Structure 1
Amino acid sequence: MSGQPVLFTDTDSESTASSVPSELKIRKLPVGIILLVELCERLTYYTLAGTQKTYLQNQLDKAPSSSAALNSVFSMLCYFWCIPGGLVADSIGRYKTIIMAGSVYAVGTVCVGLAVVHDLQQSLGWLFMFGSLVLIAAGTGGIKPNIANFGADQIGDLTERQRECQKTFFSLFYLSINVGVLVAFGFLTNITTAGLPGVVSQAEGYSFAYGSGAASMILAVILFVAFTSSYKREAGSGLGPVKALVKYQMHSVLNGGGWRAIMSLLGFLCLPCFFLCTLASTLLASPSHSASSEVFVDPCASQLAPASAPPRMLHGGGGGSALLDNAALGLGSCACIFLVVANMSCTWVRELNEEKASFTSNDAKQFFAAIPMIIVVNIAFNLCYNSMNNAFPSQACQMDLRLGNTQLNGAFFNIADAFAIIIFTPLFETCLYPMIAKIKGSPVRLGQKIIAGLLIAAASNVSAALLEDKRKAAPYLCGPDIGFSQCAPGYSEDGLEGTRMKDISAFYIFLPFTLVGIAEILVNPCMYCFSYEAAPMELRSLLQAVNLFFSGSVSNAFTAVVAKMAYPNSLDDGNLNKYYYINVVISILGIGVYFIVTRCNHGREMKKVVKTEIMEACGAESDGEL
């Protein structure tokens, strides 16, 4: 190609259109709309995900451990649907899939918004569960694996400048996510428990916040449809490549693929069993507690006048079956181990007699060879990351939340994660990475970013554990004008029941949140890029869905099981640090497994089936750097 394309080109620019082939254009308008749509969708998702545990335990009277497990199951289901979403997109196209999934998502948010209206909460609890666990989960799963790829499609990857612009897009995409996070956690989550003085009563806080999320999602769908004419739309390739992938797997098992082929198949078969056991264990938890089921003595009662009724604490266990918990843990572990070991070398893939040029055995090897890295990195990182959804906010809810005359919600402190991403992303890209590259004489590689991210993620959970020791040692806040924590277990609308805060500022929780944000910068954009570039062209949506599937669904399934086994219903009487240190150990083990994977046959196999420019697009100069 004789010339370089203009980096950002509007589709309606006549002067550019006449000089640059359409396939080389980078469409600025649709890229901007896609970033805005992602912002709205993430605002909606995190408003719900960040406050769902508190709603379940305080409005629907579920035990804290069950609420934490259900919250993890919600995230698990959202990411579980990424696989069907990727398959549909590869079949009919990303554009149509995003519209259909967005519509389902919007209906789900409306259902949730209606279900949390104060006078309807108890009678419409089923609608809240249906809207969140079914409709929103399915809608998210259809959008998430496709919206980033759809944005990358608008840029193209035929030239070096386009590929560089794609990397910038993935960073901007992640930035837009966190702008939505800031609005969700910095504003809407506080309204759920405190209301908005003079505008929204405390009783209607959830309906206002979730209603705002519904409006945001409806706006996202309208915006996406309104700019249809400006999009570059890739037609779906049908399910032929996916069917071929399944054929390669089964043909290899039956025709000399050896133990690796069998192990790969067993790994895939274990996954649905893992999810079924996790769902059964969580949904079969003990029923909701009645208002009088658990009573405890207020630690401040001796210093204050007796309350009209003794406060309560929901101490009850999460219920369910220990057998199911152990079965889920075993099946999930086997699935991950089998898939990693089997696909470290993809020489097990056998040629098909009816093989067509459109999807070759090398394409199959390319897809399978990407799986070990996706599994190892996502499990090692996201178990620590998931603490940010349940454990960190719960810990903050039993610290000093007061700010003036109001209380913050524990989920508010997620803004530290978003601020860390917004602040440190440009610093890393423009200062840190170039400085390190200059010192070491070579670019900062993908593997180096990932290892640093895993270490920082582990450090976030260690810092939270140390902070929990400080919190438990602090005295209770017992002043006459100090009420119970509005987001901790047992809080009642009259303010006469609940959990006392401790005399230690909740703002200390900013540290673990910030560390998670820094770790995200190092890990998640790398995995987005790797999944897009390492996939065969026909299966880009599917491999991105696999990445998201292990990132959110499999990791949250593990978190749901670990939460039921190690997450205490009473933080003051239990040991939350056990939960944290399990995550830390898995993260450190993941680093060791990562080195084994990248130094074994996986790297050599990737070199055979992945083009040089694909590896360079992800920041790797050789297969060993992966």
Structure 2
Amino acid sequence: MASQKLVTYLSTRLHEGNVSAARNFTTWQGTCYLTPLIGATLADSYWGKYRTIAVFSTIYFLGMAALTLSASVPSFMPPQCVGSICPQPTLPQYLVYFVGLYMIALGAGGIKPCVSSFGADQFDDTDAVEKTKKGSFFNWFYFCINIGSLISGTVLIWVQENYGYGIGFGIPTFFIALAIGSFFIGSEIYRFQIPGGSPLTRACQVVVAATRKRKVDLPDDSSLLYELDGKTSAIEGSRKLEHSSEFSFLDKAGVILWNESDGSRYPWILCTVTQVEELKILLRMFPIWATGIVFFTVCAQNSSMFIEQGMVLNNQIGSFKIPPATLSSLDVISVVVWVPIYERLVVPIARRFTGKERGFSELQRMGIGLFVSTIAVAVAALVEIKRLQKVPVPMSILWQVPQYFLVGASVVFACVGQTEFFYNEAPRSMRSLCSALALLTVALGSYLSSLVVTAVAWLTTRGGEPGWIPDDLDDGHLNRFFWLLAAMSALNLAVFVGCARRYKRKNVY
């Protein structure tokens, strides 16, 4: 669904005011990035990824069907305005639309954290050829997502504007049904990961057991810590993890006392080394995860401050006028262009220098993405400086093209690298959860962007000053805001490099 048109629909069809429409949109968008925690928990703990995708994609389809009905069935369609009089929709009309909308948010919560990791599950990590192909899978997965985003942001919006919302909602509903059918057709050939129980419960068990035994001394030999014999893990569907020396306090959860012999009987008192290492992996990944928040703060400017900047530029190109918001699709086009370039050109060249089959490691790739995103906002600042020098003669909006393309390039490096990193490093029984946590950084990045804008507006308007971001940008200093983001991004990159250099990868049996 083209979410770009959601605010317009709320305003023009449901006759909501600007504040109400914006609030409903941001609430729904935030929900779309919180519900993956629900889907991930169900997938890792009880249902498995296949069943979770099947159930939640069906919910998504039903949500889209409800939106289609609300825009095509007369009794469900909100009334049209008559002149300046806009009758309010009835309660059933509201319900059909918003129930459908939040069914989509719930459905997305089961699809987003599972579909990429389920796809990667189809590759055997023990086979060198398949392991290399798995790296390519993440690239082409993002490629397909952005192709869909490009179509929804252009073709579907055009259809909605020219043929109505009924057809505009009906087309994606049809293709979702087609996608679900295609998913089920391949059921006989899929590889399945068995759910291993609640990962959050296991993490809490480690913390509780370690706290209970806080006064117990750790043995000098880590092999004396509790673990099942052989290669079988106590966590179903997972592989045993080797002991690591970090966060040694948690190891106390694996100390065997004289009256303890079977951890399965006392899960809140005695935990296996593998269970303890699961929590350690999450703690080691946390700083890497946190650096993604600032990255997505930069990406959030595509739909906020970059558009504000474009609104004061000359959007007349020959006989055409380019809406400033349209340029935000350039980062999507950039991703579509960059994925083949990365696969066919960057990887072979990088392989010669790094000796790595995939050219760069996941962490190296993420670092490059963070660097490119820093350059993107720096370029935006330079464009703004140039624009202010040209006032009152407006610059061409095409000056913004480089910053949008740089953000798109940063996504190819950072986002794909992040997805691959969390999949490979997460314990098998926590892969969906880690994917959901990675998606959470998108929402947190948007919230941080709003917080920074609010803080800048408050601090720079004291004493009657117009501030950095006034209504008339000709009187402001938007370039300083972009330089602030560039400084935050550079600091974030430095933190990431430090964390990445100290990061210790997991070891499995």
TM over 0.5: yes
Identity in percent? 21
Inter-partner Cα distance in structure 2 for 1:516 and 1:257: 51
Amino acid at match of 2:210: S
Counterpart selection for 1:251 from 209, 227, 234: 209
Inter-partner Cα distance in structure 1 for 2:30 and 2:362: 27
Inter-partner Cα distance in structure 2 for 1:257 and 1:368: 22
Instruction: Evaluate the alpha carbon distance shift between residue 153 and residue 444 of structure 1 in structure 2; reply closer, same or farther with a 3 A threshold.
Output: closer
Conserved? CA contact 1:51–1:411, under 8 Å: no
Instruction: Evaluate the alpha carbon distance shift between residue 458 and residue 244 of structure 1 in structure 2; reply closer, same or farther with a 3 A threshold.
Output: same
Amino acid at match of 2:249: W
User: Equivalent residue for 2:427?
Assistant: 536
Inter-partner Cα distance in structure 1 for 2:41 and 2:138: 22
Which whole-Å deviations, capped at 9, do the CAs of 1:211-238 have from their partners, x for residues lacking one?
4333333332333234433433333223
Q: CA RMSD in A?
A: 3.7
Conserved? CA contact 2:136–2:343, under 8 Å: no
Inter-partner Cα distance in structure 1 for 2:159 and 2:399: 22
Q: Are residues 1:216 and 2:106 paired?
A: no
Instruction: Evaluate the alpha carbon distance shift between residue 463 and residue 244 of structure 1 in structure 2; reply closer, same or farther with a 3 A threshold.
Output: same
Q: Are residues 1:368 and 2:368 paired?
A: no
Structure-to-structure mapping, 1:258-269, within 5 angstroms: none
Structure-to-structure mapping, 1:38-437, within 5 angstroms: 44=1, 47-48=2-3, 50-53=4-7, 55=9, 60=15, 62-63=17-18, 71-90=25-44, 91-113=46-68, 119=79, 123=89, 131-132=100-101, 134-190=102-158, 195-196=161-162, 200=163, 204=164, 208-239=167-198, 241-253=199-211, 255-256=213-214, 345-349=246-250, 350-352=252-254, 354=263, 355=270, 359-376=274-291, 378-396=292-310, 399-401=313-315, 408-437=322-351
Once the two structures are TM-superposed, the CA of residue 99 in structure 1 deviates from its matched residue by 1.6
Q: Are residues 1:549 and 2:440 paired?
A: yes
Once the two structures are TM-superposed, the CA of residue 448 in structure 1 deviates from its matched residue by 3.2
SS of aligned partner of 1:610: coil
When normalised by structure 2's length, the TM-score is 0.73
Amino acid at match of 2:438: N
Inter-partner Cα distance in structure 2 for 1:405 and 1:61: 34
Instruction: Evaluate the alpha carbon distance shift between residue 351 and residue 253 of structure 1 in structure 2; reply closer, same or farther with a 3 A threshold.
Output: closer
Which whole-Å deviations, capped at 9, do the CAs of 1:168-203 have from their partners, x for residues lacking one?
1111111111211221223233555xx33xxx3xxx
Conserved? CA contact 2:61–2:177, under 8 Å: yes
Conserved? CA contact 1:80–1:141, under 8 Å: yes
Once the two structures are TM-superposed, the CA of residue 103 in structure 1 deviates from its matched residue by 1.9
Once the two structures are TM-superposed, the CA of residue 457 in structure 1 deviates from its matched residue by 0.9
Conserved? CA contact 1:78–1:138, under 8 Å: yes
Which whole-Å deviations, capped at 9, do the CAs of 1:451-490 have from their partners, x for residues lacking one?
22112112222333444556677789xxxxxxxxxxxxxx
Inter-partner Cα distance in structure 1 for 2:307 and 2:12: 15
Inter-partner Cα distance in structure 1 for 2:479 and 2:96: 35
Conserved? CA contact 1:76–1:557, under 8 Å: no
Q: Which deviates more, 361-370 or 408-417?
A: 408-417
When normalised by structure 1's length, the TM-score is 0.61
Once the two structures are TM-superposed, the CA of residue 560 in structure 1 deviates from its matched residue by 4.1
Q: Which deviates more, 355-364 or 455-464?
A: 355-364
Inter-partner Cα distance in structure 1 for 2:282 and 2:116: 19
Q: Which deviates more, 70-79 or 87-96?
A: 70-79
SS of aligned partner of 1:360: helix
SS of aligned partner of 1:544: helix
SS of aligned partner of 1:51: helix
User: Equivalent residue for 1:619?
Assistant: none
Q: Give the unaligned 5+ runs of structure 2.
A: 72-76, 81-85, 217-243, 257-262, 264-269, 458-468
Conserved? CA contact 1:189–1:409, under 8 Å: no
Conserved? CA contact 2:312–2:394, under 8 Å: no
Inter-partner Cα distance in structure 2 for 1:466 and 1:51: 31
Instruction: Evaluate the alpha carbon distance shift between residue 372 and residue 185 of structure 1 in structure 2; reply closer, same or farther with a 3 A threshold.
Output: same
Inter-partner Cα distance in structure 1 for 2:311 and 2:419: 33
SS of aligned partner of 1:233: coil
Amino acid at match of 2:349: M
Conserved? CA contact 1:531–1:540, under 8 Å: yes
Once the two structures are TM-superposed, the CA of residue 579 in structure 1 deviates from its matched residue by 5.2
Q: Are residues 1:610 and 2:501 paired?
A: no
Query: Relative contact order (alpha carbons < 8 A, sep ≥ 6): 1 or 2 greater?
Result: 1
Which whole-Å deviations, capped at 9, do the CAs of 1:314-368 have from their partners, x for residues lacking one?
xxxxxxxxxxxxxxxxxxxxxxxxxxxxx99533323246346594322332233
Query: When the two structures are aligned, how many residues end up with a matched partner?
Result: 438
Conserved? CA contact 2:39–2:111, under 8 Å: yes
Once the two structures are TM-superposed, the CA of residue 444 in structure 1 deviates from its matched residue by 3.5
Once the two structures are TM-superposed, the CA of residue 246 in structure 1 deviates from its matched residue by 1.7
Once the two structures are TM-superposed, the CA of residue 51 in structure 1 deviates from its matched residue by 3.5
